[in-house]
Structure 1
């Protein structure tokens, strides 16, 4: 089969489009024909070794990659290169191991990429495309327990926009306990996770304020934002101190202090990323003197993915695909992704689909 193999930490030259063997499902696994695979920050970050403590800049600033392998550059320490990346997968089950559910064969499914292999009482995670081969290929094998059939009229590309972005967003909102009537600020609102968060927060009945560049505001209003502010704005100056119940911040960087200071006493800030840079200025007095909470999220809670499938099937959220590319154009897709001129998701389509 054709696949994009990431050979190690580094630049785009580490992405090789080549022939590899079709995977054989082991005990408890199913084989999927990949119909579409979304593009995410995490694939670029993993290739760059950005998760390493030795990297302190944003993804775009390190896009040429570090000159050496990063022993702590993946989600769970070292990345097992060579690796087929691709965290988002919409696929069709074509084969199941004898001990797996045979009724899955023929179904169109989404893969839950964040796997809690020790159970949901433990926070340990195993991630598709970071810890084992993912969906940037014509076929992928996954545990049968991590595939979820979906009954809807969305296209394959639209479904492939869901797993990582919407799973991350839903997990943040569940963990932070967002309630109807609360006021939430979403930074980086035009990206995959940001636009998903706007929809999912509005679905809960929250008042959503989206922070983005001016040219992207109109679409965010359509997605459910009540108000938009510019990316360059200081939220405390524009919205007022103590005016926000929850900040959903996957941007971090130099603007972090303003997003923390805008929270009311007892307010919460939840994060699962740091696209503008992982090292932030923090005045601890802004945290403890105002009884604020900062919540980090990586491991998805048990209800997150089944809930998302329900939202899709009931038409409670809408897909947001900015553009599709053939799989072999992954470098173009990632370059365009880092330009950050789009709203929503880029999706790769394998050959033969």
Structure 2
């Protein structure tokens, strides 16, 4: 089968052996998969001498084979992959055996994947396979950040530095569905316009003076994945007693901030990543109830996976990048 994998320090698009279903597993014939920033980082984590690992954490397809003991699903069912491995119940932190699809095991950038039946969910019928392939890391991360951690309420104001990531495009829609006011930033006029079209109430340039532009706003919550470049700027516009939720560090992992200002401001800082199956199912129910449409930036055939990853690396996208098999 054709796959995108990393082996001995090189990203390759070539044939790999087809998987088979062991007890409790299914084989899914994948129709589409979507990219996440972790796909750019996985090769570095593997190192130059690693044996082949297929990249990709999100995907949608059709069940082709059932392993022994599989119930509740049948051959021909249309399904999506839950990338959050073995994190089933609601908890503050994931269990010790938690992993994410594609490291250490093979991922979704392939024509087929064998995976535990516990990691699949029915595909929302109204979505195409390309749209459904985005329902993985991005919406789950965004839902946990917004609902579980921030506990956003109708009438509150949410500030999102960086409007164009897959996670951000889901958070904008979730927040609007829940009755919040949403403010975003970007350096791109096109991305600011796209965010407004998606539902953002106010979109400002990242280079602007945020304190000046937002002086008439009361920011209840900030959800930030940019990292060091925006952390202190976000704190500066957050109301006293407000919440800052972080789930990423695109610019840099390490930052510093004034502790005295922080504790006098009575701020709350949350860290989060991905989420459990309970949250994933709640997220899917929200998406289905509101008939949400994932924002797809561009679709590439699997043969052009290198180009797709380069577009993500350069932050050129607005929404999710998808590859098809």
Moved over 6 A (4+): none
Q: Which residue of 1 aligns with 2:83?
A: 113
Task: Select which of 200, 207, 220 maps to 2:181.
Answer: 207
Q: Which residue of 2 aligns with 1:6?
A: 6
- Mind listing any 5+ residue stretches in structure 1 that lack a counterpart? 50-67, 71-78
Q: Which residue of 1 aligns with 2:313?
A: 338
Q: Which residue of 1 aligns with 2:27?
A: 31
> Given the alignment of the two structures, is residue 94 of structure 1 paired with residue 64 of structure 2, yes or no?
yes
> Given the alignment of the two structures, is residue 306 of structure 1 paired with residue 306 of structure 2, yes or no?
no
> Given the alignment of the two structures, is residue 262 of structure 1 paired with residue 237 of structure 2, yes or no?
yes
Matches within 5 A, 1:205-244: 205-212=179-186, 213-240=188-215, 243-244=218-219
Task: Select which of 131, 139, 151 maps to 2:112.
Answer: 139
Hey, what's the Cα distance between the residues in 2 that align with 1:227 and 1:326?
35
Hey, what's the Cα distance between the residues in 2 that align with 1:299 and 1:37?
17
Shift of 1:344: 1.0
Matches within 5 A, 1:67-82: 69=47, 81-82=51-52
Deviations 1:170-194 (A, max 9, x none): 1111222111111100111111111
TM-score relative to the length of structure 2: 0.92
Question: 1:152, 1:313 within 8 Å by CA — same for their partners in 2?
Answer: no
Q: Which residue of 1 aligns with 2:128?
A: 155
- Mind listing any 5+ residue stretches in structure 2 that lack a counterpart? none
Shift of 1:297: 0.6
TM-score relative to the length of structure 1: 0.85
Alignment CA distance shift 1:43-1:139 (3 Å): same
Alignment CA distance shift 1:339-1:159 (3 Å): same
Q: Tell me the SS of whatever aligns to 1:31.
A: strand
Q: Which residue of 2 aligns with 1:43?
A: 39
| Number of residue-to-residue matches in the alignment | 320
Shift of 1:315: 3.9
Q: Which residue of 2 aligns with 1:196?
A: 170
